[in-house]
Amino acid sequence: MEKIILERINDLPKISEIIKLYNLSAKRYLSQNFILDLNLTNRIVKVSGDINNKNVIEIGPGPGALTRSILKTGPNKLIVIEKDPRFFDALSNLKKIVGKKLILINEDALKINLNEIMENNSIKEAIIISNLPYSIATKLLIQWLPFPKQISKLTLMFQKEVADRIVAKVGTKKYGRLSVITSLYGHNKILMNIPSTAFYPRPKVNSAIIQIIPIHKKHYNFNKKTIEMITQTLFHQRRKTIKSSLKPLGDSIELCKLASLDPSIRAEQVPPQGFARLSNIISSN
């Protein structure tokens, strides 16, 4: 990034001052919690990997702390999607500095189509870096699956409890529906933990940054809706054997045999590919 642009971004008022200047009170129903420390957002961007000259999508920028940190690394384009129009005056300060490099979109992230967003902005490949609002984070992640082929990497913030469930391994107590579904579509890992004290107003929970590298396939050997149905059925009765919990879905013994699964194991002992095989079998019947 040009030195003069970097200096102008660094000369902007502190995020706490921006919040006061534009009267940006956090709205609880939108799960708004702001990060004020730019050193922290710089760290988040750093652990995300090299984004110089790459296209980036950010969901829910708020007053723009993470947005600044992303822009300082010199992306080709940064598309920012924000539902709350109150933040656009503050974000426009960044727009004045970097020009066409920053694209501001006033939309609900749950209602947008990532493929259309990229196509409309002539982007063939992008990464996502976002401090997702807690209230929509899990829903948004599931909605994105399978990830668009143009998305090569995602670095996302979740509640720590949700992050632990996403990366949980088979056989552990936190392994469940979310672990299975996300692992079938990507390689997931926690990059860093963030305490609740890093936010304003302070939430009741800690957070974690997860990185997901999508697994792009021409054809998945499972159906997403069927996977969701099977995982919901089995994990709703996770103390029962799968022989018992699979009964509403058909001949449980035969299903286990076809899926190469021991009927005496429980849901938390079924690996993701085991669920994929069950999905394929049930979908074909």
CATH number at residue 111: 3.40.50.150
Domain, as residue range, for 269: 224-284
pLDDT at 1 over 70: no
Q: Spell out the residues 6+ positions from residue 12 whose beta carbon is closer than 8 angstroms to its own.
A: 18, 68, 93, 94, 97
Torsion of CA 30, 33, 35, 36, to 10 degrees: 110
9 assigned to some structural domain: yes
Q: What is the pLDDT of residue 219?
A: 74
Cis amide bond preceding 271, omega within 30: no
Q: What is the pLDDT of residues 128-165, one digit of tens each?
A: 999 999 999 999 999 999 999 999 999 999 999 999 99
Is residue 34 classed as helix, strand or coil in its secondary structure? Answer: strand
- Mean pLDDT estimate for the chain: 94
Residues 209 and 113 grouped into a single domain: yes
* Per-residue confidence (pLDDT) for residue 273, from 0 to 100: 95
What pairing do the DSSP bridges indicate for beta strands 151-159 and 55-59? unpaired
Among candidate residues 45, 106, 118, the one with its CA nearest the CA of residue 81: 106
Candidate from 174-188, 209-223, 226-240 with smallest mean pLDDT: 209-223
- Entry pTM: 0.94
- Residue 255 resides in a domain: yes
**pLDDT, mean of residues 218-223:** 81
Which of 181, 214, 247 is where one domain is finished? 214
Looking at the structure, tell me whether residues 194 and 229 fall in a common domain. Answer: no
232 plus 209 within the same structural domain: no
Query: Of 192, 214, 236, which residue constitutes the final position of a domain?
Result: 214
